[in-house]
Structure 1
Amino acid sequence: MAEDNPARGDARPRPVSPARQGSGAETGYAVIGTLISGMAVWGGAGWLLDQWLDTRVFFPVGIIFGMAVAIYLVVARYGAVDPPSGGRRTGTTPGGRRSRPRTEKGQR
C-alpha cells in the first residue's frame, strides 16, 4: 500500500493505457473545427493586414491559405490508415519474378 502513495512532492506515474479512439461524431466535429478555425485564424490575420495596409488582397489569401493548412493538418492527423496486420502482399513469387497468369484450357 505504501507504493500507491508516493512520497510528498514526488510525481505519481501515469498508468499505461492505449491511445483513446474517439467516436465517429467526435472525429467529425474535430475535423470541422479544424477547418473553420484555420479559415478564421488566417482569414482574420489577412483582414488585419488589409486594414493596416489599406488593401483588399490579404483577406481572401488568408482564408485560402488557412483552409489549405487546415486540410493538411486533417489529412496528417486523421487520414493515415494503419497497415494491415498481415504481411505485405505483392504480386511476385518468392524468387522475385512475376508468375505467369493462369489460363483455362484452350485460351491464350
Structure 2
Amino acid sequence: MAEKHPSTGDARPPTAKPTSGGSGAETGYAVIGTLISGMAVWGGAGWLLDQWLDTRVFFPVGIIFGMAVAIYLVVARFGGLPPAAEGSRTSTTQGGRRSRPRTQKGQR
C-alpha cells in the first residue's frame, strides 16, 4: 500500500519498520511453532504419499525430514549473534588477527 507524500502528493512505498528482537517467550514460541509445523507439514505430506502409494515408509521419512528442515530454519533465523555496535571493536593487529593477550613479566 503506497502512502501519499505530503509535499508533492506522489505515491511512495511504505517505510520499513525496524523489527525488534522480541522477548524470550516470543522467541521460544516461534522456535517451538517452527519445529512442530515442520514435522506436521512434511509428515502430513509423507502420510498422504503413503496413502496414495499404499506404503508405510514416507510418513516417518517426512517427519524426520521436516524436523531437519525446521532445525535448519531455526538456526538460520535465531542462531546468529546480534550485530555488534560500532563502538565495541575488539583489538586487532594490522593484518586483522587478534592481538596476543598481555601477560605479566615472566609468564608465557
What TM-score comes out, normalization by structure 1 length? 0.70
Q: Aligned letter for 2:39?
A: M
Pair 1:87 & 2:54 matched: no
Q: State the match for 2:76 in structure 1.
A: 76
**Aligned match of 2:6 in 3, 27, 30?**
3
Alignment-derived partner of residue 24 in structure 1: 24
1:16–1:83 distance in 2 versus 1, CA, 3 Å:
closer
Offset at 1:11? 4.0
Residue 40 (structure 2) aligns with = 40
Determine the C-alpha separation between the residues in 2 that align with 1:46 and 1:87. Answer: 49
Gaps of 5+ in 2: none
TM-score by length of 2: 0.70
Q: Distance in 1 between matches of 2:48 and 2:16?
A: 45
Runs of 5+ consecutive residues of structure 1 not aligned to the other structure: none
Note closer, same or farther for the CA distance 1:16–1:64 as it changes in structure 2 (3 Å cut). Answer: closer
What's the % identity of the aligned pairs? 69
Q: For 1:56-85, what per-residue CA distance to the aligned partner results, in whole angstroms no more than 9, with x for missing partners?
A: 110000000000000000110111112433
Seen in structure 2, the aligned counterparts of structure 1 residues 96 and 63 have a Cα distance that, compared at 3 Å, is closer
